[in-house]
Amino acid sequence: MSAFGPYITKIRSAASSAELDALELEIFSRKHGVLTVAMKDMGSLPPSEKISRGQELNRWKHDLTEALAWRRKELSSLVMGELASGDKLDVTLELPPQESGHLHPIPEFIRQVEEVFGRMGFEIAEGPEVESEQFNFNDLNIPESHPARDAQDTFWLAGYESENDPSRRLLLRTHTSNVQIRYMKTRKPPMRIICPGRVYRKDSDATHSPMFHQFEGLMVGAGVSLANMKAVMMSAIRELIAPDIDFRFRTGFFPFVEPGLEMDLRWRGDENESREGRWMEVAGCGMTHPNVLRNCGIDPDKWQGFAFGFGVERMIMIKLQIPDLRSLYRGDLRFLRQF
Ligand code: DAH
């Protein structure tokens, strides 16, 4: 009896595994499957026919099960084949351009500062941006009446004006030199530190901003000299800006150093663009004043030191030929993407 023959044909031409599932159900389902029903119907046959019918149905069961398994295998290898040919990896295909960000020029430069001085054995030190008058001025040999204070138009914190003790009058630090004091008061020489950070003054124009960045350097040891200072500063700026950068030292006055010097770098861009002229002051420096060492409990007869304070934005202006430092703070991506 070939009542199940057409099922074999249907199975062989099934186009998907979902179609095969449906056929399997139609044939084998527990209640209404065509083969299941035929098996049940066998019970009503006379015993003489039962045996041959049983054998016949078992053969169909075997053939149908095998046909299903076979077609399933065939279909899955067809799908794999299609995937293999349709989903090939094309390594020559150009990818869409990927935008990767980069640090803003200021933190990027500070990272380089830490790296360059780190290689010269300088440790990174930090101090607070809200500082006491004592550490920002007094201990740096700048007493209350000193004219050097006028050069640093200070942001005082309201509510502390009536304090008599300069350790309790607070301000936004005007320079990173406060870190020198904090470090020397708590350590013993020899020492070498570099202190990058934000500082605040009430000025604003193309070369001044009310908030800007400095990095302070301090080295204290036995027999430390001005020649050591110049060597450290020169090798650092050559690495940080350019090996052929032009610079000069001039004498300058800072109450916390003696002698004191200023370092200028030569503007590298279009001369008409530089509002400061061809030379731009980027650092103050000198030999640590004996009073400052004493204020921090260090014996000036035993130890000598040098210190310098660089303006980060001005160094970046020269390095990247940016005529107006305010462009560094505008957050204009057309500007920032150039670096
Ligand atoms: N603190 C000074 C300023 O902000 C810069 C400076 C001058 C720092 C001389 C120093 C130094 O360490 O020795 O104007």
pLDDT in tens, 255-264: 999 999 999 9
Please give the pLDDT value at position 2: 61
Q: Which domain holds residue 188?
A: 105-336
Q: Which residues contact 169 (CB under 8 A, 6 or more apart)?
A: 132, 133, 156, 160, 161, 163
pLDDT tens, residue by residue, 137-185: 999 999 888 877 776 778 999 998 888 999 999 999 999 999 999 999 9
Nearest CA to ligand 1 atom 12: 308
Q: What's the pLDDT tens digit per position in 319-339? A: 999 988 889 999 999 999 998
- Provide the phi-psi class of 124: left if phi over 0, else alpha when psi is between -120 and 50, else beta: beta
- Specify whether the CB–CB gap between 318 and 241 falls below 8 A: yes
Q: Are residues 159 and 113 in the same domain?
A: yes
Mean pLDDT of the chain: 92
Tell me which residue has its CA closest to atom 11 in ligand 1: 285
Residues 73 and 156 in one domain: no
Do 226 and 306 sit in the same domain of this protein? yes
Instruction: Tell me which of 32, 54, 86 is where a domain ends.
Output: 86
Q: Identify whether residues 247 and 167 lie together within a single domain.
A: yes
The CA 34 to ligand 1 mean position distance, Å, reads 98
Q: Is residue 199 part of a domain?
A: yes
Ligand 1: which of 256, 287, 293, 310 to mutate, judged by most atoms within 8 Å of the beta carbon?
A: 256
Tally of domains in the chain: 2
pLDDT at 151: 66
Residues with CB under 6 A from ligand 1: 175, 177, 216, 254, 257, 284-286, 307-309
> Angle at the Cα of 82 (from 81 to 83), degrees rounded to 5?
90
Q: Are residues 167 and 298 in the same domain?
A: yes
CA 309 / ligand 1 centre spacing (Å): 4
| Ligand 1 atom 8: residue of nearest CA | 309
Q: How many A from CA of 227 to the centre of ligand 1?
A: 18
Distances (CA, A) of 113 to 240, 281, 296: 7, 18, 26
Residue that is last in its domain, among 36, 56, 86: 86
Same domain, 150 and 18: no
